[in-house]
Amino acid sequence: MMPLPRWAPIVLLAIMATTPTITTSQGPSATAQSELRDTVSLYTTDLSALNRRWTVAYAAARRERFRAFHTEWQGRLARIDFDRLGQEGRIDYVLLNTRLTAELDRLTREEQLATDMGPYVPFAPIITEFEEARRRFNPIDPQSSGATLAAMAKEIDSLTRVVRARANATIGRPERIVGLRTVAYLDDLQRTLRDWHRFYAGYHPLFTWWTEDPYKRVTAAMTRYQTAIREVIVGQKAGEEEPIIGDPIGAAGLAEDLRAEMIAYEPAQLIALAEREFKWIEQEQRRAAREMGFGDDWRAALEAVKRKYVPAGEQPALIKALAEEAITFLKAKDLITVPPLAEEIWRMEMLSPRQQLVSPFFLGGEVIQVSYPTDSMAHEDKLMSMRGNNPHFSSATVHHELIPGHHLQGFMASRYQPHRSAFSTPFWTEGWALYWEMLLWDLDFPRTPENRMGFLFWRSHRLARIIFSLKVHLGQMTPQEAVDLLVNRVGHERANAEAEVRRSFNGTYSPLYQAAYMLGGLQIRALHQELVQSGRMTNRAFHDAIMQGGRMPIEMVRARLTNAPLRRDYRAQWKFITP
State the pLDDT at residue 491.
Answer: 87
Cα–Cα distance measured from residue 408 to residue 367, given in angstroms and rounded to the nearest whole number = 11
Cα–Cα distance measured from residue 541 to residue 553, given in angstroms and rounded to the nearest whole number = 19
State the pLDDT at residue 312.
Answer: 84
Give one word for 262, left, alpha or beta, with left for phi > 0 and alpha for psi -120 to 50.
left
Amino acid at 263: I
State the pLDDT at residue 359.
Answer: 64
Other C-beta atoms closer than 10 Å to the C-beta of 519 total 29
What is the residue-wise DSSP string for 393-459? Answer: HHTTTHHHHSTTTHHHHHHHHTTSSGGGGGG--HHHHHHHHHHHHHHHHHTT---SHHHHHHHHHHH
φ and ψ at 363, to 5 degrees? -125, 145
Q: How remote is the C-alpha of 58 from its chain's centroid?
A: 21
Cα–Cα distance measured from residue 408 to residue 283, given in angstroms and rounded to the nearest whole number = 33
Q: How remote is the C-alpha of 94 from its chain's centroid?
A: 22
How large is the angle between the packed helices 173-200 and 87-117, nearest 10 degrees?
Answer: 100
Examine residue 426 and say whether the peptide bond preceding it is cis (omega within 30 degrees of 0).
Answer: no
How many residues are there in the chain? 579
Q: Distance between terminal CA atoms of the chain? A: 28
Q: Is 418 exposed, middle or buried (0-12, 13-18, 19+ CB in 10 A)?
A: middle
* pLDDT averaged per 10 residues in sequence order, the chain, 579 residues: 35 34 58 92 98 94 97 98 97 98 96 96 97 95 97 98 94 91 96 96 92 97 97 88 84 95 96 94 96 96 92 88 96 97 92 67 82 76 81 90 96 96 96 96 94 94 95 93 93 84 81 95 96 96 97 98 96 87
What is the residue-wise DSSP string for 23-86? Answer: SSTT-S-TT---TTHHHHHHHHHHHHHHHHH---TT-HHHHHHHHHHHHHHHHHHHTS-GGG--
State the pLDDT at residue 296.
Answer: 95
Distances (CA, A) of 123 to 38, 56, 143, 217, 387: 42, 14, 19, 14, 49
Sign, CA dihedral 522-523-526-532, equals negative
Q: How remote is the C-alpha of 32 from its chain's centroid?
A: 29
Cα–Cα distance measured from residue 524 to residue 425, given in angstroms and rounded to the nearest whole number = 14
Q: Is 113 exposed, middle or buried (0-12, 13-18, 19+ CB in 10 A)?
A: middle
State the pLDDT at residue 65.
Answer: 97
Cβ atoms of 263 and 438 within 8 Å: the answer is no
Cα–Cα distance measured from residue 43 to residue 73, given in angstroms and rounded to the nearest whole number = 8
Query: Is the pTM above the cut of 0.75?
Result: yes
Q: How remote is the C-alpha of 326 from its chain's centroid?
A: 25
Cα–Cα distance measured from residue 493 to residue 483, given in angstroms and rounded to the nearest whole number = 10
Cβ atoms of 406 and 400 within 8 Å: the answer is yes
Cβ atoms of 357 and 499 within 8 Å: the answer is yes
Q: Is 37 exposed, middle or buried (0-12, 13-18, 19+ CB in 10 A)?
A: middle
Beta strand ranges found along 85-211 (DSSP E): none
Cα–Cα distance measured from residue 568 to residue 570, given in angstroms and rounded to the nearest whole number = 6
Q: Is 545 exposed, middle or buried (0-12, 13-18, 19+ CB in 10 A)?
A: buried
